[in-house]
Amino acid sequence: MLGDEAALPILVREYRIDGALIAIGDNSARAQVAKRIMALCPGLRFPAAIHPATSIGRGTTIGEGSVVMAGVVINACSTVGRHCIINTGACVDHDCEVGDYASLAPGVVTGGECKIGVFSAIGLGANLIHGITVGDEVVIGAGSLVARDIEPLTVAYGLPSKVIRTRQHGERYL
């Protein structure tokens, strides 16, 4: 963007911009910016950006403003929320739910029927076995194997993963 936030409505109107994508890695920061932009430009749309080299199964939905990178596989009947990031080569298996503003780093693999809470971040190459629930605002460390449900507002990592500490609401992780 050119200029400060006050310039955004002018730019949208002057250049007839009808859609935007928020490219911020930190989930909470991305949500804050989305909220400010929606307040400044109520008619602005946030289309999902899906790389052509993806495989998306039948019955899958991807929310507005979400980004799905190259090599991603999202299998049948899964749901990806609004303003999510599903990074390069991640695999979301059947019947999974990825909450709003969540992010999956490159190489993340989930089993089927997993639930990933809002604002949660799954680190590089982490694996979730079938049916796991990761609560809201959780950070899973890179390379972890999540074999048990993870409570909200925690940081967990390891093989198998275990909760290392709690987090504060909106705490930055990048």
pLDDT by 10s per residue, the chain, length 174:
556 888 889 999 999 999 999 999 999 999 999 999 999 999 999 999 999 999 999 999 999 999 999 999 999 999 999 999 999 999 999 999 999 999 999 999 999 999 999 999 999 999 999 999 999 999 999 999 999 999 999 999 999 999 999 999 999 988
38 phi/psi in degrees, rounded to 5: -65, -35
| Residue 104 and residue 29 share a domain | no
- Whether 94 is a known active-site residue: answer yes
Encoding tokens for residue 62?
């991807």
The domain of 23 spans 5-40
67 lies in some domain: yes
Conformational region of residue 3, where left means phi above 0, alpha means psi within -120 to 50, and beta covers everything else:
left
144 lies in some domain: yes
167 lies in some domain: no
Given this model, what pLDDT does residue 2 score? 58
147 lies in some domain: yes
Which residue among the candidates 51, 83, 94, 130 is catalytic per the annotation?
A: 94
Given this model, what pLDDT does residue 4 score? 81
Distance (Å, whole) CA 27 – CA 25: 6
Say whether 19 counts as a known binding-site residue. no
Distance (Å, whole) CA 78 – CA 96: 5
| Residue 71 and residue 28 share a domain | no
Distance (Å, whole) CA 27 – CA 134: 15
Distance (Å, whole) CA 167 – CA 84: 20
| Residue 59 and residue 129 share a domain | yes
| Residue 78 and residue 151 share a domain | yes
Domain count, the chain: 2
CA dihedral 27, 134, 94, 46 (to 10 degrees): -20
